[in-house]
Amino acid sequence: MAVVETPTTWFEDIIGGVGRFQPVLPDCVRAELEKIASEQSKKARTARVSLELASKFSKIPCGSARVDDEIVSAALSSGAMVATVDTELLRALRGAHVKVISLRAGRVQIG
């Protein structure tokens, strides 16, 4: 949702930083976006645009753990990087030594 709220050249910036990649969206994250999108608010409109953007992403299933735990687990098992601006998730990913793609001052940060 962050790239919808703060338009950036995120796709091109990521390609410049890591090369070609295939965006993936876990089913549990998609479900969270769908729940937000069903409401009537500015955040819901952002979630709907985010879902449209993510419609081209590959899908992966989730287990029954918390969404953040599923994201960390999927990244560890596949060796993938994770894009997020969520502070709690960032901490968990860094603690698990997962590379993170984030936004800072409207610019993509890879690390």
Cβ–Cβ < 8 Å for 15, 21:
yes
**pLDDT value at residue 18:** 86
Is the confidence at residue 6, as pLDDT, over 80? no
| Cα distance between residue 88 and residue 69, in whole Å | 11
Give CA–CA dist 23/10, Å, rounded: 12
Structure tokens at 65: 């753990």
Q: Hey, what domains does the chain have and what are their CATH numbers?
A: 2-110 (3.40.50.1010)
Q: Quote the pTM value.
A: 0.83
Residue 100 makes CB contacts below 8 A (sequence gap 6+) with: 81, 82, 83, 84, 90, 93, 94, 109, 110, 111
% of residues, the chain, pLDDT over 90: 69
Evaluate if residue 103 carries a pLDDT over 80: yes
